[in-house]
Amino acid sequence: MEVAMLKDLRQDANLAKRRYMELCRQGRVFDARNRIIGGDTQAWDVQVRDQKIKEATEKARDETFAAEMRHNDKVMCILHDRERRDRKQLCCAINDFQQSFQKPETRREFDLSDPLALKKDLPARVSDCDMRNTISGMQKFMGEDLNFLERKRFQEEQNREWSLQQHREWERARADHKLAEDHYLQTRLKFDETARDLQKLEGLTRKEVCAATKEFNKNQIVELAERKRQEKQQEQEDNLAEITNLLHGDLLSENPQQAASSFGPHRVVPDRWKGMSREQLEEIHYVQKQQIQEKLRLQEEERQRIMDWDRRRIQKARASLLHERQQQRLQRELRRALDCSNLSLARDQYLQKKRMDEASSSQPTEDYFSQFNTRSR
Mean pLDDT of the chain: 82
Q: What is the pTM of this model?
A: 0.24
pLDDT of 377 reads 62
Q: Write the DSSP string, 150-168.
A: HHHHHHHHHHHHHHHHHHH
pLDDT of 37 reads 59
Residue 184 above 80 pLDDT?
yes
Check the CA dihedral 41-46-47-52 and report its sign: positive
The mean pLDDT of 75-96, rounded to a whole number, is 93
Residue 191 above 80 pLDDT?
yes
pLDDT in tens, 246-262: 766 655 655 666 666 66
Taking the C-alpha atoms of residue 208 and residue 202, their distance in angstroms, rounded to an integer, is 10
Taking the C-alpha atoms of residue 285 and residue 276, their distance in angstroms, rounded to an integer, is 13
DSSP, collapsed to helix, strand or coil, labels residue 241 as: helix
pLDDT in tens, 306-320: 999 999 999 999 999
- Residue 24's closest CA among 4, 1, 40? 40
Residue 256: is it exposed, middle or buried by C-beta count within 10 angstroms (0-12/13-18/19+)? middle
The mean pLDDT of 76-87, rounded to a whole number, is 93
DSSP classification of residue 273: -
The answer to whether 157 and 163 have CB atoms below 8 angstroms apart is no
Q: Write the DSSP string, 14-43.
A: HHHHHHHHHHHHHHHHH-HHHHHTS--HHH
- Report the chain's C-alpha Rg in angstroms: 70
Taking the C-alpha atoms of residue 96 and residue 93, their distance in angstroms, rounded to an integer, is 5
Q: At 33, is the pLDDT very low, low, confident or very high (cuts 50, 70, 90)?
A: low
Q: At 150, is the pLDDT very low, low, confident or very high (cuts 50, 70, 90)?
A: confident
pLDDT of 70 reads 92
* Dihedral angle of Cα 149, 151, 156, 160, to the nearest 10 degrees: 150
Q: Specify the range with the lowest mean pLDDT, choosing from 38-52, 208-222, 244-258, 332-346.
A: 244-258
The one-letter amino acid code at 376 reads S
The answer to whether 154 and 143 have CB atoms below 8 angstroms apart is no
Q: At 360, is the pLDDT very low, low, confident or very high (cuts 50, 70, 90)?
A: low
Q: Write the DSSP string, 173-239.
A: HHHHHHHHHHHHHHHHHHHHHHHHHHHHHHHHHHHHHHHHHHHHHHHHHHHHHHHHHHHHHHHHHHH
The mean pLDDT of 118-138, rounded to a whole number, is 72
Q: What share of the chain is helix, strand, coil (3-state, %, to 5)?
A: 80, 0, 20
pLDDT in tens, 256-287: 666 666 676 667 666 666 667 778 788 889 99
pLDDT in tens, 151-179: 788 888 999 999 999 999 999 999 988 89
Q: Specify the range with the lowest mean pLDDT, choosing from 102-106, 336-340, 367-371.
A: 367-371
Taking the C-alpha atoms of residue 134 and residue 143, their distance in angstroms, rounded to an integer, is 17
